[in-house]
Chains A and B, each alone.
Chain A
Amino acid sequence: MHSLTLAELQNTLQQYLLHQQNNIDSLTLETAAFTRQQRLAIYYDAYRLRLIDALHNDFPALEMTLGTEDFAQLMAEYIAQHPSQHPSLRWMGGKLPLFLRTHPTGQQQSAIFELAEFEWAQIMSFDAEDSVPATLDDLRLLKNTQWLDLQLEFQPSLQIVSCFSNAPNIWNAAIKDESRIAIETSSEEKTWLIWRSELQVVYRVMNQSETWCLQAFSNHKNFADACEGLCEWFPVDQVPLKAAQYLQQWLQDGLIKSIIAPPIENSH
């Protein structure tokens, strides 16, 4: 037979493993007891099983909700569309939330992609960069003149996920091996905050005003901007206190990496 180059050979086998394309019988040797087809099937099957297993480890609640078989079927579809391009399986699920958002399964039931988003956020938070959280003492050091221009840098582990469904509760029951919770979807979206406290990933729900305020600060808005925006929810005279309370809460949660304050002006 025509002798393949190394590149041709790798291409041929890869196309087979990805899409079962190419007649590659002539590529490999066989023995009577162990045929070509068996040999190739081992690699073909192992490729899918390994990646589905990685996704099974990363998305336990999604699997519990879909059922093992439907999960495997859906993941095989996902893998076919998004083969790994990363040295680590850690990143295999990165495009799954978006894939499910546009997939008929996700379009029928928003809880499906919301679960994937919530689980992926947990993963991103789990091994995000370490950092020492700012404390209330850092806040106490501020002079009155510094407050209005104050900005915040949040922890690298901070993730925000919005859900119409009870996906976070389904997740919680699944990882605690509790009995399955039925999917519930409301017309009102809830926003969840996910972050790492010490080494543990934790999460809680936020109300609308806190969500708005946190998003404003993560978009580099300052305290004055935040106060202005919060007027939508609170009377003007209560707004600075409300914003300060959020700050205090976030510091207690360990959500803030640093408080960025303008230099103190020298009065001559």
Chain B
Amino acid sequence: MSSKTLLQPHLGFGLGLRREHYIDLIDGHPAVDWLEILTENYMVPGGKPLYYLDKIREHYPLVMHGVSLSIGSVDPLNMDYLRELKTLAQRVKPKWISDHLCWTGTQGINLHDLLPLPYTQEALQHLITRVSQVQDFLGQRILLENVSSYLSYQHSTISEWEFMRELATKADCLILLDINNIHVSAHNHNFDPLTYLDAMPAERIQQIHLAGHLNKGDYSIDTHDHEIVDAVWSLYADAIAKFGQISTMIERDDDIPQLDTLLAELQTARNISAQALANNRRLQNHY
């Protein structure tokens, strides 16, 4: 797979589709540019989930975000899962499909957690092969997202950001950059989040996630049940200044507020992005 521009067209500012907001979205068509669905929630035979999904699809572009691809597992790829994923994609016609840079279990067990990988050459080769297999099967590039992590392995020989860059370049996949996850992991593993941003290949960043987390003092937990904190907004501004305009969405999975609250938070994202782009232009004009 190769083409001049690797990326799909810019979508603007989106939200995660949550069932609490189904009716508001269908009845009111609020100004959200696009929505991200949690893939596995719609891998069901029928009933309400798919009914509402079809309704919402009439008004909003959708992207699919999965949690069970387990791209880093040493188990064989789950072909039943991939077939279901492809079938759902044929129905949803998403602008793109994403999952996480992680593993979720081995020996047929799904731990339903986004577990970090060791960043080694062995893991890198394993993932390059797997990503290529998945992309060949789906007939499109996938996005992989950096996860929040609480542990790192003694075995790692390179950093997570080097691993991500190498994988994206060599497997020819795209990146879903979760700004909050960089912030959380930077706190937990004591690195500079800007180092992470600096290592990212701009031409492969298709999407950005923003979310809230819980700062426990000595470490942070990625909870998605709070509003976005200032440090994450600031890192977001850095990312936009560095990479330019990127389709951005807010993830909220718990303590889900009224849609208006999230729309207001999304407006903040629009403002910060516009500001960062303007500053960037001024800088470029200056030199």
Chain A contact residues, CB within 8 Å of chain B:
1, 3-7, 9-11, 13-14, 17-18, 26-29, 31, 33-34, 36, 38-40, 42-43, 46-47, 50-51, 54, 83-90, 126-131, 156-157, 196, 199
Contact = CB atoms under 8 A, between A and B. Distances in A.
Given A9-B155, A10-B103, A84 B126 contact: no
Interface string B257-282: 00000000000000000000000000
Given A5-B122, A6-B74, A126 B151 contact: no
A31 B190 contact: yes
B139 interface: no
Interface of B: 40-41, 43-51, 68, 73-74, 78, 81, 84, 103, 105-113, 115, 117-118, 120, 122-123, 126, 150-155, 188-190, 218-219, 221
Contacts of B46: 127-131, 156
B40 A27 contact: no
Contacts of B152: 28-29
B151 to A, nearest CB: 4
Contacts of A89: 40, 112
A1 B126 CA distance: 22
A7 B113 contact: no
A50 B153 contact: no
B153 A86 contact: no
A249 to B, nearest CB: 23
A158 B40 CA distance: 23
A129 B68 CA distance: 22
- The secondary structure that dominates the B interface is loop
Contacts of B106: 7, 10-11, 14
A43 to B, nearest CB: 7
B111 A17 contact: yes
Contacts of A27: 153-154
Nearest to A53: B254
B68 A88 contact: yes
Contacts of B107: 11, 14
A252 to B, nearest CB: 21
A40 B219 CA distance: 13
Given A4-B155, A88-B43, A130-B47, A50 B113 contact: yes
A4 B117 CA distance: 12
A34 B150 CA distance: 9
Contact of B150 (A13, A42, A127, A129): A42
A28 B151 contact: yes
A10 B47 contact: no
Contacts of B68: 87-88
Given A29-B153, A39-B150, A90-B40, A199 B113 contact: no
Given A6-B126, A84-B109, A88-B68, A199 B51 contact: yes
Given A3-B155, A130-B51, 12 more contacts: A6-B126, A9-B118, A10-B73, A28-B153, A29-B152, A34-B218, A42-B150, A42-B221, A83-B109, A126-B48, A199-B47, A199-B48
10 contacts: A17-B113, A29-B151, A29-B152, A31-B189, A42-B150, A47-B113, A90-B40, A128-B47, A130-B45, A156-B45
A129 B49 CA distance: 11
Contacts of B47: 126-128, 130, 157, 196, 199
Contacts of A54: 112
Contacts of B111: 14, 17-18, 47, 83-84
Contacts of B45: 127-130, 156
A257 to B, nearest CB: 12
Contacts of B221: 42
Contacts of A47: 111-113
A35 B113 CA distance: 20
The 10 nearest A-B residue pairs measured at CB: A87-B68, A130-B46, A127-B44, A127-B47, A129-B45, A33-B218, A39-B151, A88-B40, A7-B74, A10-B106
Counting chain B CB atoms within 10 Å of each CB, which of A5, A6, A36, A54 scores highest? A6
Nearest to A3: B155
B219 A33 contact: yes
B122 to A, nearest CB: 5
A90 B45 CA distance: 12
A84 B118 CA distance: 24
A46 B113 contact: yes
A84 B51 contact: no
A3 B218 CA distance: 29
Contacts of A129: 45-46
Contacts of A28: 151-154
A34 B184 CA distance: 13
A243 B95 CA distance: 52
A84 B106 CA distance: 11
B43 A1 contact: no
B112 A9 contact: no
A64 B218 CA distance: 36
A28 B155 CA distance: 8
